[in-house]
């Protein structure tokens, strides 16, 4: 089995990792030889998707699954057209992605269909969250505390309004859920918990969640409803916040996300990349999968320097250069890291499991203590 992953940043790392867990050979395509996933793949092709179409076609031919892990609209449009013409198994739903990649379009979908979501300014009070409509995750997100900061935002960051949305800032725990869709059937997977750094970037994913089972079921129904509205084919990720007992939908992303699929895999053994193969290559979706939790999981990003060990958002991984997969890394099951002997500063994504979530957390604390003792002043 051979997978081709297009794009070597964070989603590319996720795709390469999970494809390897399935036992597949992985070819990575990226124009940047310093992309993080370059160090993880079996073979690497330095290609520009739009400029090197002929060479790209040769790479794609015969692949069992093609996973786009990029956000460039022109490249994605080209890939969708190429896959349709050549009947390539491209794990991508252009129509669903068109909605999910625009916060304006997705928020309108939520409002029109009665899906709980944060209120819009000026129909809410401070503090506010300002989000660029067309950027995913935490990129460009800004907290606005009061009217003075809002005036500064309009003057300096967003003159004339720009393509930002302004919503109420909600306090609460954040959760994520993937759903797989095919021909009107939808399969929600395992809910994971998200923790953010000070810049609203996800720094840690944990599973299973300590959430009321009724809310878990409610989240699954929400995922199925949104997937149905989009007539989803493939995978979509939903992020919610639990605010005053209500799950409010923050955003959706109709592509393979980063971080959470590995946590789902480590907790349950369910591999989303294998499910995508069944959907896009075999044209089938299982009626159900075994989502019983086998392990607790903590998936966390750290930066290490002589000053200590910091847990930070995943942005520290995207600019780290090629990563290596290291097993039994200072007590962690696995680490995706740019660490090399003698290096003073480095980063890692730590994957730690335990008999349950509490045991995984205990092991995680031991791992960070061991790393801090070895590398901090």
Q: What is the pLDDT of residue 161?
A: 54
Backbone angles phi, psi at 21, to 5 degrees: -65, -25
Among 17-21, 92-96, 339-343, the least confident range: 339-343
Q: What is the pLDDT of residue 116?
A: 96
Q: What is the pLDDT of residue 162?
A: 63
Q: For residue range 66-85, what is the model confidence (pLDDT) as tens digits? A: 999 999 999 999 999 999 99
Segment 194-218 mean pLDDT:
97
Segment 338-364 mean pLDDT:
97
Q: What is the pLDDT of residue 166?
A: 86
Segment 156-172 mean pLDDT:
76
Q: Which residue has the higher pLDDT, 138 or 324?
A: 324
Q: What is the pLDDT of residue 139?
A: 66
Q: For residue range 261-315, what is the model confidence (pLDDT) as tens digits? A: 999 999 999 999 999 999 999 999 999 999 999 999 999 999 999 999 999 999 9
Looking at residue 245, what DSSP letter applies?
A: T
Looking at residue 93, what DSSP letter applies?
A: -
Segment 352-362 mean pLDDT:
99
On the question of pLDDT at 138 being above 70, the answer is no
Q: What is the pLDDT of residue 343?
A: 93
Q: What is the pLDDT of residue 150?
A: 82
Segment 247-273 mean pLDDT:
98
**Cα 74–chain centre separation:** 21
Q: Counting Cβ atoms within 10 Å, is residue 303 exposed (0-12), middle (13-18) or buried (19+)?
A: middle
Backbone angles phi, psi at 260, to 5 degrees: -65, -35
On the question of pLDDT at 123 being above 80, the answer is no
Under the banding of pLDDT at 50, 70 and 90, the label for residue 154 is confident
Segment 318-322 mean pLDDT:
96
**Cα 102–chain centre separation:** 16
* Per-residue tokens: 187: 């399969």
Which domains does the chain show, CATH number per domain? 2-92 (3.40.50.720), 99-111+171-280 (3.30.470.20), 119-168 (3.30.1490.20), 296-375 (no CATH)
- Mean pLDDT over all residues of the chain? 94
Q: Which residue has the higher pLDDT, 167 or 178?
A: 178
Q: For residue range 5-56, what is the model confidence (pLDDT) as tens digits? A: 999 999 999 999 999 999 999 999 999 999 999 999 999 999 999 999 999 9
The DSSP bridge partners found for residue 340 are none
Angstrom CA distances, 247 to 118, 271, 314, 356, stand at 10, 26, 24, 25
Of all residues in the chain, the percent with pLDDT exceeding 90 is 84
Q: What is the pLDDT of residue 144?
A: 81
Q: What is the pLDDT of residue 159?
A: 58
The DSSP bridge partners found for residue 182 are 185
The answer to whether 260 and 237 are in contact (CB under 8 A) is yes
**Cα 108–chain centre separation:** 22
Q: What is the pLDDT of residue 26?
A: 99
Angstrom CA distances, 50 to 31, 34, 46, 65, stand at 11, 19, 12, 20
Q: What is the pLDDT of residue 135?
A: 63
């Amino acid at each position: 089995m051979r997978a081709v992953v297009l794009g070597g940043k964070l989603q590319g790392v996720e795709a390469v990792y999970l494809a390897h867990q399935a036992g597949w050979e992985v070819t990575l395509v990226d124009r940047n030889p310093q992309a993080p996933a370059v160090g993880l793949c079996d073979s690497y092709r330095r290609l520009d998707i739009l400029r090197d179409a002929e060479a790209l076609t040769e790479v794609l031919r015969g692949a069992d699954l093609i996973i786009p892990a990029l956000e460039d609209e022109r490249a994605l449009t080209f890939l969708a057209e190429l896959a349709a013409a050549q009947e390539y198994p491209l794990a991508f739903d252009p129509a669903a992605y068109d909605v999910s990649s625009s916060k304006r379009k997705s928020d309108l979908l939520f409002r029109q269909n009665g899906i709980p979501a944060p209120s819009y300014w000026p129909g809410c009070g401070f503090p506010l969250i300002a989000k660029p409509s067309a950027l995913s995750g935490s990129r460009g997100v800004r907290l606005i505390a009061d009217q003075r900061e809002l005036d500064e935002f309009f003057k300096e960051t967003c003159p004339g309004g720009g393509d930002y949305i302004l919503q109420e800032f909600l306090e609460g725990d954040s959760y994520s859920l993937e759903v797989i869709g095919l021909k009107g059937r939808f399969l929600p997977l395992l809910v994971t918990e998200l923790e953010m750094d000070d810049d609203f970037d996800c720094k840690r994913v944990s599973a299973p969640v300590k959430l009321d089972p009724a809310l878990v079921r409610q989240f699954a129904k929400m995922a199925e409803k949104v997937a149905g509205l989009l007539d989803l084919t493939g995978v979509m990720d939903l992020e919610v916040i639990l605010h005053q007992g209500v799950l409010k939908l923050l955003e959706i992303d109709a592509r393979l996300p980063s971080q959470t699929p590995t946590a789902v895999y480590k907790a349950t053994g369910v591999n989303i990349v294998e499910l995508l193969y069944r959907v896009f290559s075999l044209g089938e979706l299982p009626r159900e999968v075994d989502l019983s939790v086998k392990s607790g999981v903590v998936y966390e990003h750290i930066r290490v320097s002589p000053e200590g060990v910091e847990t930070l958002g995943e942005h520290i991984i995207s600019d780290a250069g090629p990563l290596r997969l290291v097993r039994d890394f200072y007590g962690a099951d696995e680490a995706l890291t740019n660490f090399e002997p003698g290096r003073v500063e480095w980063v890692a994504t730590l994957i730690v499991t335990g008999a349950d979530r509490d045991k995984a957390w205990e092991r995680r604390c031991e791992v960070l203590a061991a790393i801090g003792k070895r590398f901090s002043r």
